[in-house]
Copies of this chain bind each other. A is one copy, B any other.
Amino acid sequence: MSQPIRALIFDVFGTLVDWHGGVVREVRAHLAPLGIEVDAPAFALAWRNQYQPAMDEVRRGLIPFGKLDVLHRRNLDVVLRELGLDARVDEATRQSLNQAWHRLDAWPEVPAALARLRQRFVLAPCSNGHIALMVNLARRNGLRWDAVLGAEIARDYKPTPVVYQAAAAALDLPREQVMMVAAHSWDLAAAARAGLRTAFIARPNEHGPGVGETRAQVPVDYEAADLAALADTLGC
């Protein structure tokens, strides 16, 4: 563990951006004009809950790798069907609502903390989201990346080891000089198994108020209350 950390790679949904709050806002904005009242927080959770099973089909080789927009859209259709809304939500609304994931806001401390971290480290997202989605979230929130890495580069989804390893390889760095930063223990456990360093960020409200991981459930190299605290710890 004595090698210096040269690059930080980041989970994005939940760790850097508030997907739950953003999707709740977009669900309301899209369905209210159609006269549809739903429990928007529950809708957001149901949508997100389709995420891992859909990616799992890719990880197991049952369906080819696709951009996250495609999986999100398939999952949206499932949720609308399960809520009995299939006939009431038109195609244009579905397409626009599916873009909600491109219009999420960063947690408040993130843009400034990333700017501090970038003084000392190479920074890149390592998300299951595709490149265009990362570009839109970064431009919306003023996040400055050195490169966009993650699932689309590796053609597979986290927690498959190749996703983390492909990120380190793209930066031409030994894995132990790259640290994965995430708010999810499953992600960090996989990154550690793949040979990377790990930092846990607490996001106690990720899935709505009071629902999110507050402590790492696995051994990690660093653990911080938010990204600014991680920058403090790393001396940035």
Contacts and interface: CB of A to CB of B under 8 A. Distances in A.
A179 to B, nearest CB: 16
A90 interface: no
Given A138-B146, A148-B148, A172 B122 contact: no
Contact of A147 (B69, B122, B134, B144): B134
Interface string A138-170: 110000111111001100000000000000001
Nearest to A170: B131
Given A138-B146, A144-B144, A132 B67 contact: no
- Protomer copies: 2
A72 interface: no
Contacts of A172: 67, 69, 130-132
B147 A147 contact: yes
Interface in A53-68: 67
Nearest to A146: B135
Contacts of A145: 145-147
A89 interface: no
Interface in A20-66: none
Contacts of A71: none
Interface of A: 67, 69, 122, 130-132, 134-135, 138-139, 144-149, 152-153, 170-173
